[in-house]
Amino acid sequence: MRATQIRETFTDFFTSRGHHQVPSSPLVPDDPTLLLTNAGMNQFKPYFLGETPPAFPRATSIQKCARTSDIDNVGRTNRHATFFEMMGNFSFGDYFKEDAIAFAWELLTEGYGLAPERLWITVYEDDDEAERHWRRIGVPASRIQRLGMADNYWSMGVPGPCGPCSEVNYDRGPAFGREGGPAVDGERYVEIWNLVFMQFRRGEGDKKGGFPILGELATKSIDTGLGLDRLAAILQDAENVCTTDLLLPTLHTVQRLAGRDYPGRGEEKVSFQVVTEHARSIAFLIADGVLPAKDGRGYVLRRLMRRAVRHARLLGIDGPVLPAATASVIANLGGVWPELTAQAALIERVVTSEEESFTRTLAQGTRLLDAAITRTRATRSAALPGETAFELADTYGFPLELTVEAVREAGLTVDEDRFAALLAEQQKRAQAGGRARTAEALRKRDTYRELAAGLPRTEFLGYDHLTAET
Ligand code: ATP
Ligand code: MG
Ligand code: MG
Ligand code: MG
């Protein structure tokens, strides 16, 4: 089943069951507490918190998500991407556990035709109610596992809503890992769908130490997320997301540029996946208005771009890689996500200029890094000095994570504490400099104002004539 049909099947299933279809919100959330949109429920937070009355009792969406926290898993696990589409159904004080479970089961087994005996369920350790519903639907006890707080409990804010989760996992078979269910092996038993039951009000504390349950919520809600990328891999019998129709054209582009075939030898497979997968995140982030920067969202984007470029060089691609790789993402996904097509020119400009500037220092930085690794080994130390990592970041634009990754590939670590100390010192200096510059700018402004007060008005045309710089 192609991704297009997977999306349509999902949306049709839930709209025909009374769910209001809501478009994806942008990757840049309207929420100061969140760097990037990372789940379908983000845009419904005010409903779940009771801040706004819901505009409809049930909703369904296909949400663009970014999770840079999963960046190191790309190419290392089959199931993690930094950008993915989360399909979800939501109930705002309407239906609860029983219906959410019945919907998920019916859609997976009938809508998508997944073999019931391959589906394994996890429930929160004391959630007998959820287990009872799964059993009634026909899941045997042998394929239901109980997990603790870390995996199967959800909460938001203090005090705020919380509750147990129940997840559906698909057994990809012995070629993917060990027997024993999702509690034993997440690569073999891939988590595909998370059902969150917002049931209680919680008090102070955290997941590790625990927190008190203050009572039941007056209106109980449902939040679910089914990963399109993971489901596509299963339905297309693809090993990972890069070999599904979501990304295969991009993987082909990378192969063509590299002049070699996936998966290649040794670590090349990881590099192929990193370039391919990151190209998609990069295109989507820029389309939603993120531009490379030293911090915040822009830093996330920059990190993805630089990591992709570095891995492209490891594959032997010496010329530009990001323009062609992101162009193939736009060509393949622009029909479903029109913002990609609308922003194609911007995406090309941004990736071209970022890749050019990084390429200028990449070779020098790599030489410095290789020499430092050799020196570190010679001194029989396990850690690369923080000074080197700092110089690489400061002078050569190597994000710390990139240095850590390269150093890890060589079997070493980085003195990250020292790096952090050097960075803090530099920031302090920059702030002091910034304060001096601000004072200077304010003084100048006052001088200009005084001057301007005595002059006739002129029209400023600069904004219309400035050429955009990226
Ligand atoms: P995992 O334990 O595999 O990291 P998760 O528990 O962090 O997944 P949820 O927060 O429950 O994931 O998100 C709901 C669904 O979104 C998951 O069941 C999965 O199908 C999908 N998903 C989550 N993270 C990723 C990712 N990095 N790449 C692709 N799909 C993902
Ligand atoms: Mg996760
Ligand atoms: Mg999980
Ligand atoms: Mg989960």
Q: For position 205, what pLDDT does the model report?
A: 85
Output the CA torsion 112→228→347→470 (10° steps).
170
Ligand 1 mean position, distance from CA 181 (Å): 17
Q: Which residue of 89, 114, 223, 230 sits with most ligand 1 atoms within 8 Å of its CB, as the best mutation to test the pocket?
A: 230
Ligand 2 mean position, distance from CA 80 (Å): 8
What is the C-alpha separation between 458 and 406, in angstroms, rounded?
55
Ligand 1 mean position, distance from CA 89 (Å): 15
Q: Is the pLDDT of residue 11 over 50?
A: yes
Question: pLDDT tens digits for 228-264?
Answer: 999 999 999 999 999 999 999 999 999 999 999 999 9
Ligand 4 mean position, distance from CA 269 (Å): 26
Ligand 4 mean position, distance from CA 420 (Å): 32
What token pair was written down for 224?
């679910």
What token pair was written down for 250?
């991009």
DSSP H/E element including 218: strand 213-227
Residue 237, phi-psi category: left (phi > 0), alpha (psi -120 to 50), beta (remainder):
left
Q: Ligand 1: list residues with CB < 6 Å.
A: 67, 70, 79-81, 84, 86, 191-194, 225, 227, 229-230
Q: Whose CA is nearest to atom 25 of ligand 1?
A: 80
Q: How confident is the model at residue 447 (pLDDT cuts 50, 70, 90)?
A: low
What is the C-alpha separation between 397 and 33, in angstroms, rounded?
27
Structural domain boundaries of the chain? 3-235, 247-382
Q: Whose CA is nearest to atom 21 of ligand 1?
A: 227
For residue 81, which atom of ligand 1 is closest to its CA? 28
The one-character DSSP state at 292 is -
| DSSP helix, strand, coil percent of the chain (3-state; round to 5) | 50, 20, 30
What is the C-alpha separation between 128 and 144, in angstroms, rounded?
11
Domain 3-235 CATH (choose: 3.30.930.10, 3.40.50.300, 3.60.150.10, 3.40.50.970)? 3.30.930.10
pTM for the model stands at 0.88
User: Which range is least confidently modeled, 46-60, 203-217, 269-283, 294-308?
Assistant: 203-217
- Dihedrals φ, ψ of 380, to 5°? 55, 30
* ipTM given for this complex: 0.99
